[in-house]
Structure 1
Amino acid sequence: MVTAPEPIAEDLVLLFTALAATTQAQVTAEIAEAGFGDLRPSDGYLVQHLQHGAQTIGELAAKLGITAQGVSKAVIEMERKGYLTRTPSSGDQRKRLVELTERGWEAIYASRTARAHVNRELRASLGSGARAFLDQVHHLAETTGAFAALTERRLRP
């Protein structure tokens, strides 16, 4: 026997999905207003692995769980937009190191600023219950492994 699905108002998966989509759209819009309208949310998955130093295409592919060809395509596009640069590796001239440009770092700052703004708005809408709600969401993220995936940069596009 098939059971009826939970009502939408009680379906945590759908509610979190909807909240993630609408807040991501707000962050994306604020990033665009800051002058980075050519960035896509998926670009952040690549950029997150470059904040601690240059990486090769192969290293990025392994961390992102996609092919080197897919990473190369994304890197070339982001390089054309001025966010990344590729330079020959000192140890192996066949390998190219991918790193952030000044514009790439500026985009990271704009993204952090936009997320902070959206976070403030969300917390304000929760009022005095914000801390308890955040604690509960953090608990869910811990017990499902989502928090570890986030902090270990294992989230996939």
Structure 2
Amino acid sequence: MINNIGKDVMKYKVIDPSDDHLSPKSGTLPYGTTMIKGKVWITFKNSMTITLQIPILLSSFTAIDGRGVNVHITGAGCLLVYQATNIIIHGLLIHHCKAQSPSTVMGPNVKVIPLGQIDGDAIRLVTARKVWIDYNTLYECQDGLLDVTRSSIDVTVSNN
């Protein structure tokens, strides 16, 4: 995760808690995780609750940093790290995530991706590498809180 720093990292601030999963607008968390190519460090302007219609897929080299504010993420599926590397998830409150029927989502690097059934975990890692999940509060999700599957490696879960 040392590659998530440096002058080539785009700093992006979330100012809008809305969720349009196929056409994310600038200022939202889905926009920061899917529409910005390259390394991105995401922060939040103020405390907010983001209610998801479908899970957010995280791109490689993405840091979501909730320090200094109370950011609640709730709704369908919550956060999904699928075949991505160098991810930091820090300081979020993720709860009441629900299972999701198969659907389509805007994925990393502006690609529309079909999703199968989503279980309802707070954070799900599928074939992910170099992931740090730190100082988050995870609770009351339909399936579980953290699901690390399909040969995900180099995953650190600390202080949650």
Larger radius of gyration between Structure 1 and Structure 2: 1
The higher-RCO structure (CA 8 Å, 6+ apart) is 1
Q: Which interval holds the TM-score relative to the shorter structure? A: under 0.3
